[in-house]
Amino acid sequence: MKLVVDMNLTPRWIEFLRSAGFESAHWSDVGDPRATDRSITDWARTNGYVILTNDMDFPQILAYTQANAPSVVLLRGAPLTPEARGSGLLLALRHFDGELATGAIVTIDWTSKLRVRMLPLS
């Protein structure tokens, strides 16, 4: 699985994800930091990346466009650092690997069960 980490999350996620065996890049390293969320969505779809973010705009874009990709992992609730949330994220990525490969939004809020919605959203 390849992950692109959105601008709203620390670049420290990159080394953490790589050390866990995930190909990953921070958006600031692959695209214009001022790019629109729609541009990031299009890039992720074209290049086969899952978006890691805490921005609710990505699920809204996918709902509006009825697209079946890219998948999004939506982190909710601070602190959103690898030191505090890394192990939980890794569990979710491994648990929902199949869903993320076919198109899904996985929401992790750290207080309840993980939520997954398959794409396209209806």
Between the CA of residue 121 and those of 31, 79, 95, 112, what are the distances in Å?
Answer: 27, 28, 21, 22
Instruction: Provide the greatest CA pair distance for the chain.
Output: 36
Among 84, 55, 52, 90, CA closest to 71: 52
H-helix segments, the chain: 12-19, 27-30, 37-47, 57-65, 82-95, 97-102
Mean of the per-residue pLDDT values for the chain? 95
Among 23, 28, 60, CA closest to 41: 60
Confidence grade of residue 82 (pLDDT, cut at 50, 70, 90)? very high
Give the model confidence (pLDDT) of 49-72 as tens digits.
Answer: 999 999 999 999 999 999 999 999
Confidence grade of residue 92 (pLDDT, cut at 50, 70, 90)? very high
Confidence grade of residue 29 (pLDDT, cut at 50, 70, 90)? very high
- Identify the domain containing residue 36 by its residue range: 2-118
The amino acid that residue 53 corresponds to is T
**How much is the pLDDT for 35?**
96
Give the CATH number of the domain where residue 14 resides: 3.40.50
**How much is the pLDDT for 117?**
94
pTM of the model: 0.96
| CB distance 24 to 51 below 8 Å | no
Domains: count for the chain: 1
Q: How far apart are CA 119 and CA 32, in angstroms?
A: 26
